[in-house]
Structure 1
């Protein structure tokens, strides 16, 4: 037993020591911004004051549904808001503004493929200029950047720049 005492003591001391150097830190990419920040970026793109604004007419028969969607979204109930918005899209399936709003709700829910499809469809049915166009391409850009699809993100930035047209000079 006395022969094992020095060995046991050495093992205990070895177990108590700290490593001489910390383990190598793995390179990690920075965390993605919160989803609400992505949606805020998309909506902020519509705010340019210097642009010619082209706004499609709103269908009055779904205005109450729009208001309900906005209320649910403010409450953070994105799935319920998307369900109400789907009802509005049954009434007016080709409304580009509703489609873009649905894309933004899909971003909130992290349904990336759905968001890309909806924003693309909104762009193709929409005015292709002005605030809605900027929201379309900003939504696509943030999704592509988030998923490191650099070529698609570059194209989205290029298309985004084409959405802003200076208003005519009035005399």
Structure 2
């Protein structure tokens, strides 16, 4: 046996160790975190979103027809949310969305549940879709913009939150005079 044969395993171990260290050294640094601009709980944020919607009294409020096939799922989701079982509420709303995938009200409710679960990207995606498919005026419009405001606050984006907040007022359209 030669000397080079005896030391070969040590060389491999050293080479593997060097590669492992190089891999660690080349990992990108973690992205800097921006502190949230709110200390509200997710429940408080969703309450603020729903409060921003108001009751629609004295304004134009377009209410799409609700599909009777999903009302039981919607009601179940509301009960599950009230009980704090957000995962079950999400399952119920997802089942309703499987039946009526383009229902703006369902999409917005699902966006609020995503916010309760801390899934900001999903909350934003669903709320944007609800807005695009919905009336873009009235309480539904305000819920959308209030959702975006809360998301921006959590992301530490003061300008984005202010822009979303400014849009809430633009959702209020007075009732039309009838002749």
Both proteins in one fold, TM over 0.5: yes
Question: Which digits, 9 at most, give the CA deviation of each residue in 1:36-68, with x for residues without a partner?
Answer: 110001111121433211111101110110111
Distance, in Å, in 2 between the alignment partners of 1:31 and 1:46 is 20
Aligned ranges 1:47-126 → 2 under 5 Å: 47-48=54-55, 49-126=57-134
**Per the alignment, do residues 30 and 131 of structure 1 end up closer, same or farther by CA in structure 2, a change over 3 Å counting?**
closer
> Scaled by the length of structure 1, what TM-score is found?
0.78
Provide the C-alpha distance between the structure 2 equivalents of 1:41 and 1:53, rounded to a whole number of angstroms.
19
CA contact (8 A) 2:36 2:156 kept: no
Unaligned runs of 5+ in 2: 1-34
Q: List structure 1 runs of 4+ shifted beyond 3 angstroms.
A: 28-31
**Equivalent runs, 1:8-19 vs 2, <5 Å:** none
> Which residue in 1 is equivalent to 2:39?
32
Instruction: Output the TM-score relative to the length of structure 2.
Output: 0.75
* 1:137 alignment partner, one of 142, 145, 153: 145
Shift of 1:168: 2.3
CA distance in 2, matches of 1:76, 1:38: 15
Measured in 2, the distance between the counterparts of 1:82 and 1:131 equals 22
Structure 1 unaligned regions, length at least 5: 1-27
The 1:31–1:117 alpha-carbon spacing in structure 2 relative to 1, beyond 3 Å, is: closer
Secondary structure of the corresponding residue to residue 123 of structure 1: helix
2:52 pairs with one of 42, 45, 53: 45
Quickly say closer, same or farther: Cα 1:108–1:29, change in 2 above 3 A: closer
Match of 1:155 among 158, 163, 170: 163
TM-superposed CA distance for 1:169, in Å, is: 3.8
